[in-house]
């Protein structure tokens, strides 16, 4: 049985491909430039699939993929328990934060309106603080919500913060530090341990080598 690895589209895909290559897994064609969704690799027993970020943990939890690589934000929102999280790749780093219009004071009313695509994360975050919220689910352009009166705050990924600043917003509280993680289906870890464990070891070595290069002046 071949080993299937589910990968995110976008930034994570670009940053993870060199690590996979260093671990001996290279797709036969560049998935960033192909319309294919399943890719054979240089490893005869490993195939890659490329899916939307939110589908990675779903594929792994239900066994459609043995391994997945996606952001910690996606895993927090998914909240599933059908997989292990054995390795932090340390790539695609950012923060999951609350943000609001610059210099606004904390809302004094009983309920806060919050726009986000991370509904589950936001619900847990504000509940832990005893803050009642009305959550407004949006798929994108989160920064627009406070500008048009749709929400008081947003919960979103923050990288440089330039997009927030350009729209008159500022980050407030950090919910989680985000990076890309490897997740492994629990049943597959037992059934395909002979393939999975060496691959995890090779990926970990690739991560250490990458960090060493980055730290070298």
Same domain, 134 and 39: no
Q: Is the whole-model pTM more than 0.85?
A: yes
Same domain, 9 and 34: yes
Same domain, 183 and 171: no
| Angstrom distance (rounded) from CA 28 to CA 18 | 14
Mean pLDDT, range 87-95, rounded to an integer: 96
Q: What pLDDT score was predicted for residue 6?
A: 98
Angstrom distances, CA of residue 122 to CA of 14, 60, 127, 137: 28, 24, 8, 10
Same domain, 65 and 22: yes
Same domain, 70 and 14: yes
Q: What pLDDT score was predicted for residue 147?
A: 93
Residue 134 pLDDT more than 70? yes
pLDDT of 48-75, one tens digit each? Answer: 999 999 999 999 999 999 999 999 999 9
Same domain, 153 and 192: no
Residue 217 pLDDT more than 90? no
Could you tell me the residue range of the domain that residue 135 belongs to? 95-176
Q: What pLDDT score was predicted for residue 215?
A: 81
- Per the CB < 8 A criterion, the answer to whether 8 and 51 are in contact is yes
pLDDT of 153-198, one tens digit each? Answer: 999 999 999 999 999 999 999 999 999 999 999 999 999 999 999 9
Same domain, 79 and 183: yes
Same domain, 34 and 67: yes
Same domain, 204 and 155: no
Alpha-carbon 25 to chain mean position: 21
- Of 117, 152, 121, the closest CA to residue 134 belongs to 152
Mean pLDDT, range 125-132, rounded to an integer: 93
Q: Mean pLDDT across the chain, nearest whole number?
A: 94
CATH number at residue 108: 3.40.190.10
Domain count, the chain: 2
- Per the CB < 8 A criterion, the answer to whether 128 and 122 are in contact is no
Same domain, 120 and 63: no
Same domain, 206 and 111: no
Backbone angles phi and psi of 40, in degrees to 5: -65, 160
Same domain, 74 and 116: no
**DSSP assignment of the chain:** --EEEEEESSHHHHHHHHHHHHTT--BSS-TTS-S-SEEEBSSTTEEEEEE-TTHHHHHHHTTS-SEEEEEHHHHHHH---SEEEEEE---S-EEEEEEEETTPPPP-SSEEEEEES-HHHHHHHHHHTT-EEEEEE-SS-TTHHHHTTS-SEEEEEESSSHHHHHTTEEEEEEEEEE-EEEEEEHHHHHHTHHHHHHHHHHHHHHHHHHHHHHH--
């Amino acid at each position: 049985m071949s080993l299937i690895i589910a990968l995110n589209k976008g930034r994570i895909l670009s940053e993870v491909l060199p690590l996979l290559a260093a671990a001996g897994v290279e797709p036969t064609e560049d998935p960033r430039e192909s319309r294919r969704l399943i890719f054979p690799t240089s490893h005869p027993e490993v195939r890659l699939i490329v899916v939307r970020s939110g589908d990675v943990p779903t594929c792994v939890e239900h066994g459609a993929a043995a391994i997945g690589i996606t952001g910690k934000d996606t895993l927090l929102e998914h909240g599933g328990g059908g997989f292990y999280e054995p390795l932090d790749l340390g790539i695609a780093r950012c923060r999951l934060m609350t943000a609001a219009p610059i210099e606004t004071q904390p809302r004094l009313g009983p309920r806060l309106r919050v726009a986000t695509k991370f509904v589950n994360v936001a619900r847990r975050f504000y509940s832990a603080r005893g803050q009642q919220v009305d959550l407004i689910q949006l798929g994108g352009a989160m920064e627009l919500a406070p500008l048009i009166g749709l929400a008081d705050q947003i919960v979103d990924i923050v990288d440089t913060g330039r997009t927030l600043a350009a729209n008159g917003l500022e980050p407030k509280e950090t919910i989680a530090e985000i990076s890309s993680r490897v997740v492994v289906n629990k049943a597959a870890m037992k059934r395909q341990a002979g393939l999975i464990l060496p691959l995890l070891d090779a990926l970990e070595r690739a991560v250490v080598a990458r960090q060493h290069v980055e730290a070298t002046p």
